[in-house]
């Protein structure tokens, strides 16, 4: 069965097509896969033989069997991981993925068609111009970060002026650094109606994750704990969904920071943060 599935690109494509788009007749399969009957039918017969595909004589369509669905779902997951690894092999080979939660790491194949935006040696800790341009055009931004990036303040300020929405999750150390270096701007962020800030006492796996309505971006350390400024970016729906779920995970284990309207102090899920006295 493994040979039947993997030793023919046509058979593999038929299986994935029927999984993604449901039952199809032979003409529809030929059109989508751009193959002729003489090349296609022998492959379909092999899939029928293994009961991966069944033929509905009434509807005149081919569809995956119940067991075929289960098998092809796993095959697609496997192929997606292979594809993203091949696309940017040298990048993935050197990245440390251990801090990404396992349930998200298993689905890293969702990061389809990623581009690598490499940083110049003199601006490793600045956002790549392509990233900055895209984020400024976004309607909402979700960002989780375990590093201090000063440029974040100016970008967020510009985005808020356009009435976009921002959700920001960061570690306690990064929160303190932003608060110390940009006290007035950060106070405005905490009280802005379109922005929520959450803090977690612990590590955030990826160096930085950004998800908007149009793209997903990720920065990761290499396996030696070094940061080279490379931005991994994708505009695919599957990548955006993956990014949103990873952000939701970090958000769920964090606590919202807000300014109490009565006291004017900064509070953290019900009790005062040490730095509240600064207000």
Residue 270 confidence class, pLDDT cut points 50, 70, 90: very low
Q: What is the DSSP letter of 278?
A: G
> CATH topology for 98-278?
Endonuclease; Chain A (3.30.870)
Q: Which two tokens stand for residue 117?
A: 């935006």
- CA trace torsion 69, 79, 218, 155 (10° rounding): -70
- Look at strands 115-117 and 231-234 and give their pairing: antiparallel
Confidence at residue 123, expressed as pLDDT on a 0 to 100 scale: 66
Q: Reduced to 3 states, what is the DSSP secondary structure of residue 221?
A: coil
Q: Which two tokens stand for residue 276?
A: 């509240």
Residue 276 confidence class, pLDDT cut points 50, 70, 90: very low
* Total-model pTM: 0.79
2-76 is classed in which CATH architecture?
Answer: Orthogonal Bundle (1.10)
Q: Where are the domains of the chain?
A: 2-76, 98-278
146 CB-near residues (< 8 Å, 6+ apart): 170, 171, 174, 203, 204, 205, 206, 207, 208
How far apart are the C-alpha atoms of 199 and 208, rounded to whole Å?
14
> Average pLDDT, stretch 127-148?
94
- pLDDT tens profile 69-89: 999 998 888 888 988 999 999
- pLDDT tens profile 140-188: 999 999 888 899 999 999 999 999 999 999 998 899 999 899 989 988 8
Query: What is the phi/psi pair of residue 257, to 5°?
Result: -105, 135
Confidence at residue 269, expressed as pLDDT on a 0 to 100 scale: 66
Query: What is the phi/psi pair of residue 204, to 5°?
Result: -105, 120
Question: At residue 5, does pLDDT exceed 70?
Answer: yes
Would you say the C-alpha torsion 61, 67, 70, 76 has a positive or negative sign?
negative
Contact status, residue 195 vs residue 166, Cβ threshold 8 Å: yes
Residue 272 confidence class, pLDDT cut points 50, 70, 90: very low
Question: At residue 273, does pLDDT exceed 50?
Answer: no
> Average pLDDT, stretch 181-209?
87
Please tell me which residue, 247 or 99, carries the higher pLDDT value.
Answer: 247
Q: Which two tokens stand for residue 201?
A: 């006492």
- Look at strands 115-117 and 195-200 and give their pairing: unpaired
Among 153, 183, 184, residue whose Cα is nearest residue 168:
153
Residue 203 confidence class, pLDDT cut points 50, 70, 90: confident
How far apart are the C-alpha atoms of 250 and 227, rounded to whole Å?
21
How far apart are the C-alpha atoms of 220 and 42, rounded to whole Å?
46
The HSE-up count of residue 222 (CA atoms within 13 Å, CB side) is 10
> Average pLDDT, stretch 195-215?
87
**What is the percentage of the chain residues whose pLDDT exceeds 70?**
94
Please tell me which residue, 277 or 176, carries the higher pLDDT value.
Answer: 176
Q: 216: which strand partners?
A: 211, 234
What value does the mean pLDDT of the chain take? 89
Per DSSP (E only), the strands in 222-272 are 231-234, 255-259, 266-268, 271-272
């Amino acid at each position: 069965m493994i040979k039947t599935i993997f030793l023919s690109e046509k058979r593999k494509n038929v299986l994935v097509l029927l999984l993604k788009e449901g039952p199809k007749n032979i003409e529809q399969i030929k059109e989508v896969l751009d193959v002729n009957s003489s090349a296609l039918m022998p492959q379909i017969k092999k899939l029928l033989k293994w009961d991966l595909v069944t033929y509905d004589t009434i509807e005149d369509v081919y569809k995956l069997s119940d067991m075929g669905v289960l098998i092809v779902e796993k095959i697609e997951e496997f192929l997606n991981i292979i594809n993203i690894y091949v696309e940017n092999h040298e990048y993935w080979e050197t990245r440390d993925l251990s801090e990404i939660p396992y349930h998200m790491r298993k689905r890293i194949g969702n990061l389809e068609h990623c581009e690598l935006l490499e940083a110049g040696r003199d601006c490793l800790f600045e956002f790549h111009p392509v990233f900055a341009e895209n984020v400024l055009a976004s309607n909402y931004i979700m960002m989780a970060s375990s590093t201090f990036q000063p440029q974040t303040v100016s970008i967020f300020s510009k985005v808020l002026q356009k009435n976009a929405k921002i959700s920001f999750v960061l570690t306690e150390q990064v929160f303190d650094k932003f608060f110390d270096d940009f006290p007035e701007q950060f106070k405005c962020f905490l009280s802005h109606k379109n922005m929520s800030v959450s803090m977690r006492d612990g590590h955030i796996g990826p160096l930085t994750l950004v998800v908007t309505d149009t793209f997903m971006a990720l920065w990761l350390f290499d396996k030696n704990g070094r940061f080279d400024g490379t931005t991994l970016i994708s505009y695919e729906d599957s990548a955006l969904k993956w990014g949103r779920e990873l952000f939701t995970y970090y958000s769920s284990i964090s606590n919202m920071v807000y300014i109490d309207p009565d006291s004017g102090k900064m509070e953290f899920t019900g009790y005062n943060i040490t730095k509240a006295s600064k207000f």
